[in-house]
């Protein structure tokens, strides 16, 4: 009887262990304390300094420096707890499409915003 119970419990542990070892879908990593609202996104305009954009929007998700200046990009995901609020993604999404929320800022050598576009 003990052998039978031991065999059943051992089999149950193996079955449940195999079922739970399935790869879990990983959640996106977010920049901590980086929620942004549409109001804040509207505060930055062409002609402002780069430092203002980073002060309002936080650390960019992606930055590319060129001879002519920099391209700063923030990528977002909608929050569930506040209307028109977005969490900043820590990394650029692997696939960027029409549904991707972003802010893109092009800055010249002197740190002045030359182009500002967003989709939230």
For the stretch 88-114, pLDDT in tens is 888 888 888 888 899 999 999 999 999
The correct answer on CATH 3.30.160 for the domain covering 37-119 is no
How are beta strands 85-88 and 69-78 bridged, if at all? antiparallel
Token pair 């391209």 is found at 71
**Per-domain residue ranges of the chain:** 37-119
Q: pLDDT-derived band of residue 15, with 50, 70 and 90 as boundaries? A: low
Q: pLDDT-derived band of residue 79, with 50, 70 and 90 as boundaries? A: confident
pLDDT above 90 for 52? yes
């Amino acid at each position: 009887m003990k052998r039978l119970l031991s065999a059943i419990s051992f089999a149950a542990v193996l079955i449940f262990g195999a079922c739970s070892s399935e790869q879990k879908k990983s959640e996106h990593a977010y920049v901590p304390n980086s929620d942004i609202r549409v109001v804040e996104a509207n505060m930055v305009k062409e002609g402002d300094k780069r430092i203002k954009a980073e002060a309002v929007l936080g650390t960019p998700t992606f930055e590319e420096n060129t001879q002519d200046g920099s391209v700063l990009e923030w990528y977002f995901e909608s929050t569930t707890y506040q209307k028109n609020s977005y969490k900043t993604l820590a990394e650029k999404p692997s696939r960027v499409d029409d549904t991707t929320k972003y802010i893109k800022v092009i800055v010249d050598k002197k740190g002045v915003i030359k182009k500002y576009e967003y989709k939230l």
